[in-house]
Amino acid sequence: MTDLAVASGAFLDLTFLGLEALPGPGEERFARELLRSPGGGAITATGAARLGLDSALAVPLGSDEAGGFLRAALEAEGVRLVAPHRGRTATTVVLPLDGERAMVTYEPGVAARAEDLDALAPRAVVGPLGLAAEPPAGAALYVSCGDSEARAHAGRLPDLSAARALLVNAAEARLLTGARTAEEALRRLAGVAPSTVVTLGPGGAIALIEGREVTAEGVDGGPVIDTTGAGDLFTAAYVWADLHGAAPGARVRWATLYAALSVTTPTGTAGAVTEARLIEEGTRRGLPRHPVPAGHTSSSPSPMEG
């Protein structure tokens, strides 16, 4: 059985490093380096695999050269894939600058197929808001969304009662609810999902999980180079901790640490550290330890305790 199937769209990320400024109309800027890497849901799937989960990308990749590049990269990580579609692969240009990044995306609108999710038989699924209307049978559903999806649902929140958790960043939470602050947005979102987590970037995260208020302080993982994929990796680590039976506060703290460690390296997938590294860092920082389920093959030096 698959531990986690990612039903969020995957992208080829083209990251331009070393920009002094973003180009304005009619301007040209030169980057120091250009990197290609898996993006979007492929980052979540990669992070989950490096954390020891049996991970699959349930969204079809394109049959073009970009799709071939992503397929090879993900298979090398042990991520299982579904049959490709005949079209082009979604692509994002990423422009990191001053601890943030701007992005331009081409998205052909390919979604996960129900038959692929059924065949994967996952314990957990990460997917977009729309997946909550027809959640995969027998799987815990973790819902996330990007900026464009948050704008599309602004002011008309979907019913997320079938989801185990909604995970969004502060900007997405404010877009969805019209709230002025992340805290206000969290309170409003608590009415549509059993558990809601709002990430605050370097400020950590706040959450209402099964009626319990949770706060995780920000973590200084090192100099910020590229924040791309931090939210995707937060989600991967949150699911990892939840599937391992971690308490609500521990889930959020482990996920916050995983995201913080990722931003010190260019590209989202390069920032996804292994389970051993995460546990080492968490132990050093005093994070709560939690049990590894029977039959789980951990890359950590010793099991985590409750």
Instruction: State the pTM of this model.
Output: 0.91
Q: Is the pLDDT of residue 304 over 80?
A: no
What value does the mean pLDDT take over residues 161-169? 96
pLDDT of residue 293: 47
CATH number of residue 42's parent domain:
3.40.1190.20
For the chain, how many structural domains are there in total? 1
What value does the mean pLDDT take over residues 41-48? 98
In a domain, 300, yes or no: no
In a domain, 193, yes or no: yes
The 3-class SS string of the chain reads CCCEEECCCEEEEEEEECCCCCCCCCCCCCCCEEEEEEEEHHHHHHHHHHCCCCEEECCCCCCCHHHHHHHHHHHHCCCEECCCCCCCCCEEEEEEECCEEEEEEECCCCCCCHHHHHHHCCCEEEECHHHHHCCCCCCEEEEECCHHHHHHCCCCCCCCCCCCEEEEEHHHHHHHHCCCCHHHHHHHHCCCCCEEEEECHHHCEEEEECCEEEEECCCCCCCCCCCCCHHHHHHHHHHHHHHCCCCHHHHHHHHHHHHHHHCCCCCCCCCCCCHHHHHHHHHHCCCCCCCCCCCCCCCCCCCCCC
In a domain, 306, yes or no: no
Q: Is the pLDDT of residue 306 over 80?
A: no
In a domain, 85, yes or no: yes
In a domain, 142, yes or no: yes
* 106-120 pLDDT tens trace: 999 899 999 999 999
Q: Is the pLDDT of residue 147 over 50?
A: yes
Q: Is the pLDDT of residue 298 over 50?
A: no
Q: Is the pLDDT of residue 302 over 50?
A: no
pLDDT of residue 25: 95
Residue-range definition of the domain harbouring residue 116? 4-18+33-284
Q: Is the pLDDT of residue 211 over 50?
A: yes
In a domain, 195, yes or no: yes
pLDDT band for position 300 (cuts 50, 70, 90): very low
What value does the mean pLDDT take over residues 127-151? 91
Instruction: Tokens for 102, please give them.
Output: 């701007």
What value does the mean pLDDT take over residues 135-143? 93
What value does the mean pLDDT take over residues 43-51? 98
- The mean predicted confidence, pLDDT, of the chain is 91
pLDDT above 90 as % of the chain: 82
In a domain, 58, yes or no: yes
In a domain, 241, yes or no: yes
Partnered with residue 4 across adjacent β-strands are 55, 124
